Amino acid sequence: MITTDIEFIQECLTRGEIVGLPTETVYGLAANIFDEQAIARIFQTKNRPNSNPLIVHVPSYEHARDLVKFFPPKAEHLAKYFWPGSLTLILPKQAHVLDAVTASQPRVAIRIPNHPIALQLLEKLAFPLAAPSANPYNRISPTSAQQVDFYFPDIHTLDGGECTAGLESTILSFEEDEVVLLRHGAISVSDIERQVGRILNRTSHSESPNSPGRNKKHYSPICDLIVTYEPLFMLSAVQEKKVGILWYDEVKIESQKVHINRVLAPTSSLQEAARNLFKYLHQMEQMGLDLIIVERLPDQGLGRTINDRLERASVK
Ligand code: TXA
Ligand code: MG
């Protein structure tokens, strides 16, 4: 059920319900961080393993400070520069942050979303919100209230329009003086490095399976997906399949074999591509395709995040 009534959503959350929450990245499935039962319901509803911790959403830097022991200097600089925004920081948690939220880890993931309605709601509430992306485990993240409602028709979703970023937040942790990238996201590595210098990339380390979006398979449509610089070459290799092609900035060649062509970013803007990616993948998976072939994007800026998501979506 979709609503625009913020007070109603505030009441739902206060009595322990989980709700669909708009943010600028993707929609979240949100609950009171201090309500153990509501947190448990998030995991059940998403069919997500309890070992995979949740991101906490707060309305201000001061609220974030109340939940953590300290901000390392680089974390403080990044928070002050990018918040509200699509950057999640992993910081040492205070004792009152529930183990259920952090999956018993000593650190908590926090961000201030850059979305006027989410901020309005967070400011009204007496507690922060834990919110993973509002998709069943391993499915495509939703970028509209309609898409949340498609996945979870029984919960109330606050409509905040289409997400302006369209990709999940970038996740960083801190080790001594180092900044460590755990998940590519809506803020590019180059934008972060402009603030704090070189950062370490741990996005493909496999030793801790429950770390951010690092499960190899993730973000998947229900049909097969291939990402390639040569969609037409791939097309020539597949037989008798209902195929869709998702192009970067133009349809390079029309083919009778293709059921549908979509273009991510007619202006070649990577931001535009990011905004459309999950929306178009969701639309295409609903068409009953056997296969989506996606043209690989330039491997720079947000292109890296998009390619990362596509590679994970292509794992069977
Ligand atoms: O943009 C976003 O980040 C969205 C919106 C709703 O804020 N949220 C989101 O949440 O993408 P989720 O749960 O789908 O992905 C969060 C990732 C998970 O892979 C989780 O493992 C990681 O963050 N994470 C959360 N807390 C952590 C912690 N304490 N230590 C390490 N990783 C953590
Ligand atoms: Mg997710």
Lowest-pLDDT range of 49-63, 109-123, 195-209: 195-209
What sign does the CA torsion over 141, 282, 42, 309 have? negative
How far are the Cα atoms of 16, 85, 108, 146 from residue 142, in angstroms, in the given order?
23, 18, 23, 8
Q: Which ligand has the minimum distance to the alpha carbon of residue 131?
A: 1
> What is the whole-number distance in angstroms between the Cα of residue 109 and the centre of ligand 1?
7
> What is the whole-number distance in angstroms between the Cα of residue 198 and the centre of ligand 1?
23
Q: Which ligand has the minimum distance to the alpha carbon of residue 220?
A: 2
User: Residue 42 and residue 232: Cα distance in Å, rounded?
Assistant: 41
Q: Which ligand has the minimum distance to the alpha carbon of residue 187?
A: 1
Element (H, E) at 30: strand 28-32
Best of 57, 107, 168, 275 for a ligand 1 pocket test (most atoms within 8 Å of beta carbon): 168
210 pLDDT higher than 50: no
Q: For 80-107, write each residue's pLDDT tens digit.
A: 999 999 999 999 999 999 999 999 999 9
> What is the whole-number distance in angstroms between the Cα of residue 185 and the centre of ligand 1?
11
Structure confidence at residue 211 (pLDDT): 53
Average pLDDT rounded to a whole number, residues 256-266: 94
Cis peptide preceding 84, ω within 30 of 0: yes
Structure confidence at residue 232 (pLDDT): 87
Residue nearest to atom 21 of ligand 1 (CA): 212
Average pLDDT rounded to a whole number, residues 141-169: 98
143 — phi, psi (to 5°)? -120, 10
User: Residue 203 and residue 86: Cα distance in Å, rounded?
Assistant: 17
Residue nearest to atom 12 of ligand 1 (CA): 132
Residue nearest to atom 31 of ligand 1 (CA): 211
For residue 254, name the pLDDT band (cuts at 50, 70, 90).
confident
Q: For 44-84, write each residue's pLDDT tens digit.
A: 999 999 999 999 999 999 999 999 999 999 999 999 999 99
User: Residue 96 and residue 35: Cα distance in Å, rounded?
Assistant: 12
- Dihedral (C-alpha) 135, 199, 109, 305: value to the nearest 10 degrees? -10
Best of 43, 55, 151, 216 for a ligand 1 pocket test (most atoms within 8 Å of beta carbon): 55
213 pLDDT higher than 80: no
297 pLDDT higher than 50: yes
Average pLDDT rounded to a whole number, residues 122-127: 98
Structure confidence at residue 34 (pLDDT): 98
Structure confidence at residue 238 (pLDDT): 84
Structure confidence at residue 179 (pLDDT): 98
Average pLDDT rounded to a whole number, residues 231-239: 86
Token code pair at residue 21: 């929450």
Report the chain's mean pLDDT, rounded to a whole number. 93
Structure confidence at residue 216 (pLDDT): 57
296 pLDDT higher than 60: yes
Residue 139 CB neighbour total at 10 angstroms: 20
pTM reported for the whole predicted model: 0.95
217 pLDDT higher than 70: no
Q: Which ligand has the minimum distance to the alpha carbon of residue 170?
A: 1
> What is the whole-number distance in angstroms between the Cα of residue 234 and the centre of ligand 1?
34
- Taking the alpha carbons at both ends of the chain, their separation in whole angstroms is 32
User: Residue 276 and residue 255: Cα distance in Å, rounded?
Assistant: 23
Ligand 1 pocket by C-beta < 6 Å: which residues?
A: 23, 25-26, 28, 52-55, 88, 90, 102, 105, 107-109, 131-133, 168-169, 171, 210-213
Structure confidence at residue 215 (pLDDT): 56
Q: For 19-33, write each residue's pLDDT tens digit.
A: 999 999 999 999 999
For the chain, domains (ranges, CATH) are 2-201 (3.90.870.10), 224-313 (3.40.50.11030)
Structure confidence at residue 186 (pLDDT): 98
- 52 Cα nearest atom in ligand 1: 21
* Residues pairing with 246 in the sheet: 262, 294
Region of residue 182 (phi > 0: left; psi between -120 and 50: alpha; otherwise: beta): alpha
Angle made by CA atoms 197, 198, 201, in degrees to the nearest 5 = 145
212 pLDDT higher than 60: no
**Which of 148, 147, 165 lies closest to 23, judged by CA?**
165
Structure confidence at residue 24 (pLDDT): 98
Average pLDDT rounded to a whole number, residues 102-124: 98
